[in-house]
Structures are given as C-alpha cells and as structure tokens.
Amino acid sequence: LEEAAFQLQQIFRIDISIALNILGIESMRAGHCRAAFTCFKLAADRGYSKAQFNVGLCYEHGRGTEKDLEKAGFYYCQAASSHHPMAQYRYGRYLLQHGPGSCWDRQHKAVALLERAAGAGITEAQAYLGVFYMRGLQPKQKRGLKYLLQAANSGDAQSRYHVGVCYEQGLGVQRNLAEALRHYRQSAAAGNGQAQERLRA
C-alpha cells in the first residue's frame, strides 16, 4: 500500500509539472512572459527537465524575469543532467563562453555535452561542433566536416556553405571544386547569402 501511495504521489507530481509547463508555454505564446516564467519555475523546481530548460531560456533572454546568464547556466545544467538534448547544447555553449573553472576542464565537459546533443540529432549542436572543430586551437578537420555534413543534411544552409568551403579548400577532405559548387548551390538555393556571394565570385 505504501508503495502504491508513493507511485501515485510521483505520478501526481509529474502530471502537475507537465501541466505547469504547458501553461507556461501557452502564457508565453499569449505574450504573458512573467506568468509563463512563474509556471516554468514552479515545474522546474519540482525537477521537470523541460521546464528547467524553459527557465534557462527565460533567464538567458530576459523573458518574464531579469536576464541572468549564470542562472540560465544553472537551469540548463539541471535539464542537461536529465538528458535533455537541447539543454545539453545550451549548457555546452554556456560552459565554453561563460563557465567557471579552468579553460581545459570547461572545454572538455562542454564538448562532451555538445557531442551528446549532436548525437541526439540537435542540428544546432552539429553545426556548432563542426565550426568548433574546424577553428579550434588544434583543428580536427575530418571530425568538423562530419558534424557539418550532419547539420547540412538536417537542412542547415550555413553548414552546407561550410561544407562547400571544406571541399573548395581541401579541409578534412580531398579538394574537389565540383563538389564544392554542388554544396554552394544547395546552400544558395536555401537562401544563404555567403554561398550566393561565393558562387558569384
């Protein structure tokens, strides 16, 4: 009986959190940012990862509350620890740009989070890692190209442009101008200005 009561409590707690998060989303859509933040925060403090992510967004962009990157990082971290892929991406970026601790430790942890998010299909994480590996202090061009291709195949026109650059310049792949042109054309057709400029050049 005690076990059944505990299970009911857990279900009730989760259901309330889901309802609060949905109410927060609807409030945000209606332009009631402060009410949305309150709903997200109540659900987040109950441990609901989707709401924790939403609280992080509110703090990052100053919607419904004061802008506070440290608090945004805290809530992204909470959600990321519950395997929320978009929170892993956001927290990874936060660590690289604002996180505490030594640069090497932050970078190591951030890259692990970004790779998990990329593996879960988060296009933004794939694109970010692609550029990160291409431009890092110790560039890993083949790995960068792998992530740029993943993002490009998910429809990211900017990553498609970067893939074209890789083929044009032989970064992580054998130089191939015909393949570079193909990628530039696809990126330009999707509205990417840099690819359009490159084609004109």
Model pTM score: 0.83
Res. 16 pLDDT band, cuts 50 70 90: confident
| pLDDT of amino acid 12 | 55
| Exposed/middle/buried for residue 29 (C-beta within 10 Å: 0-12, 13-18, 19+) | exposed
CB 52 within 8 A of CB 78: yes
Lowest model confidence (mean pLDDT) among 115-119, 134-138, 158-162: 134-138
Could you tell me the two tokens for 70? 């440290």
pLDDT tens per residue across span 19-74: 899 999 999 999 999 999 999 999 999 999 999 999 999 999 999 999 999 999 99
Is the CATH number 1.25.40.10 carried by domain 1-114?
yes
Q: Would you list the domain boundaries of the chain?
A: 1-114, 121-200
CB 185 within 8 A of CB 175: no
Tell me if 1-114 shares its fold with 121-200: yes
Distance between CA 29 and CA 33 in Å, rounded?
8
63 Rama class: left (phi>0) / alpha (psi -120 to 50) / beta: beta
CB 25 within 8 A of CB 54: yes
Dmax (CA) for the chain in angstroms is 75
Amino acid at 157: A
Among 66, 65, 119, smallest CA distance to 92 is for 119
At 141 the three-state DSSP class reads helix
Q: Which helix (H) or strand (E) holds 161?
A: helix 157-169
CATH class of 121-200: mainly alpha
